[in-house]
Amino acid sequence: MSKKKIIIAFAIVFLVGFCFIKISSADIAIRTVTKVYFEKDGMSYNQPVSFTVNCYGYSYSPGPEVEKKFYIPKKVFSFFADCPNYGCEIYENYYLNYRHIDYCNLEGKTQGYSFKIKKFATSPLPENCNNINDTLLGGRECELKFDLTNVSFNQNKGFFKAIICFFKGLFGGGC
């Protein structure tokens, strides 16, 4: 074999090996199915609910987490879903690498009313998850429950009503 062919063969082996190392060290999202349950007064809440989970903290570059002593929490993770009924399934992989989360808020809408549950968790990933090992890809199944019993519901006013309410508030009036 000529010297040129040996160098080319070595370069090909090196490139393939480098690509394999890069692929094998890649971050992988875990396939996750979450059953979401909304309850009120100890009963299943069977009305459609649209909701968003926003989580706040800070993000950092790949590698070990560098703890920040002083910072203002910013939104670092979010997802939304529509639940047509009690026990709906959502598909969110909860990819949380390179994020430090301090708290998560839930904002939702149902039957013309909006609601908010502040600081319901320190992670969007439900604590109640089971690994699935019966498929080639694996994954996990989770359960997420929200209690709407003590939640304040605000009627959605619409854009123009909100503007009128804003100006009434400026001049000492209420809505």
pTM score above 0.75: no
**Is residue 75 within 8 Å of 54, Cβ to Cβ?**
yes
**Is residue 37 within 8 Å of 86, Cβ to Cβ?**
yes
What tens digit of pLDDT does each residue of 44-96 get? 999 999 999 999 999 988 877 777 888 899 999 999 999 999 999 999 999 99
